Amino acid sequence: NTKITQSPRYLILGRANKSLECEQHLGHNAMYWYKQSAEKPPELMFLYNLKQLIRNETVPSRFIPECPDSSKLLLHISAVDPEDSAVYFCASSPTGVINTGQLYFGEGSKLTVL
Amino acid sequence: GDSVTQTEGLVTVTEGLPVKLNCTYQTTYLTIAFFWYVQYLNEAPQVLLKSSTDNKRTEHQGFHATLHKSSSSFHLQKSSAQLSDSALYYCALRNNYAQGLTFGLGTRVSVFP
C-alpha cells in the first residue's frame, strides 16, 4: 500500500530517541498508531481524528504522538526499552457517513532494541 | 468491552481442499463492521473481507463469509485452498468511529502441496 508511507522502515536502537513518520495520501481524517509484537495481533496505541487525539491507550510515557496535519502522523520514542521491539504500523480511515469502518495500514516500521 | 475469538493457532490444509476459520465475537455495542484481515509474512495487514449486513454473504478472492448476528459469528471459508493462501488471518470488528479495530488473536494458515 504505497498510499500510506512510513519511515524509517527498519531501525535498530540502543537506549536512544527516535521518531517514526507516517504520511497518508488517501484524504482520510482518522489516523492511528498500532504496535504489533511478534506472534500477536496489532494493538492500538493512539487514534487521531481531524488532528485531535481521541484515543490514547495505556502506553508508556516514552511514546509521544504528534499529528502536525491531517495527513501526517509522528511517533516520538525516547529511551527505548527492549519490550518496545515490534513493528509499528500507521493506519488511516475515512470518517463520516460514507464509512465502512475499514482501516488501511502502512508498510510498518520495524524497531529492534538492542 | 469487545472481544473476538478465532480458531486458535495453526491450521494446515492440503492444496485444493476446503478451509474454514471460525470467528465469534462479543460486544455490547451496535457494531459498525466486521472484517477479515490477511497478513502475509513481513507485510502489513490488509482487508480480505468486510461486512456490516446480517445474513448477507460477502466474497473476495475465492474466500467468503456471512455475518450471523444471531450466533455472533463471521466464519471465513474457501472451497479450494491455494498455496498462496498461506498467511496469518485476523478476524476483527469495529464499533464506532472513536475506536480502532478489535482483533482476534489470529490464525495461521499453511497450505501444503
Q: Report the CATH number that the domain containing residue B51 is assigned in CATH.
A: 2.60.40.10
Q: Which chain B residues have a beta carbon less than 8 Å from that of A105?
A: 44-46
Q: How many domains does chain B fold into?
A: 1
| Cα–Cα dist B92/B36, whole Å | 6
Q: Which residue has the higher pLDDT, B6 or B27?
A: B6
A8-31 pLDDT per residue, tens = 999 888 777 889 999 999 999 899
Rounded to whole angstroms, the maximal C-alpha distance in chain A is 45
Nearest CB among A89, A95, A104 relative to B97 is that of A95
Q: Which residue has the higher pLDDT, A57 or B63?
A: B63
Pair B24, B91: CB distance under 8 Å:
no
The pLDDT mean for chain B works out to 93
The x, y and z cell numbers of residue A50, run together, are 481531524
pLDDT of amino acid A98:
47
Asked if the model's pLDDT at residue A1 lies above 80, the reply is no
Tell me the β-bridge partners of A11. A111
B80-99 pLDDT per residue, tens = 999 999 999 999 998 776 67
Residue A36 phi, psi dihedral angles, 5° rounding: -120, 110
CB atoms within 10 A of CB A69: 8
| Cα–Cα dist A3/A82, whole Å | 30
* Chain B residue with the nearest C-alpha to that of A100: B33
Q: What is the mean pLDDT of residues A30-37?
A: 95
| Cα–Cα dist B83/B112, whole Å | 7
Q: What residues make up the domain containing B73? A: 3-112
A69-105 pLDDT per residue, tens = 989 999 999 888 889 999 999 999 987 654 567 899 9
**Contact across the interface for B33 and A32, Cβ inside 8 Å:** no
The x, y and z cell numbers of residue B61, run together, are 478472492
**Contact across the interface for A102 and B46, Cβ inside 8 Å:** no
Locus of grid cell 502536525: A68
A15 burial via Cβ count (<10 Å: 0-12, 13-18, 19+) = exposed
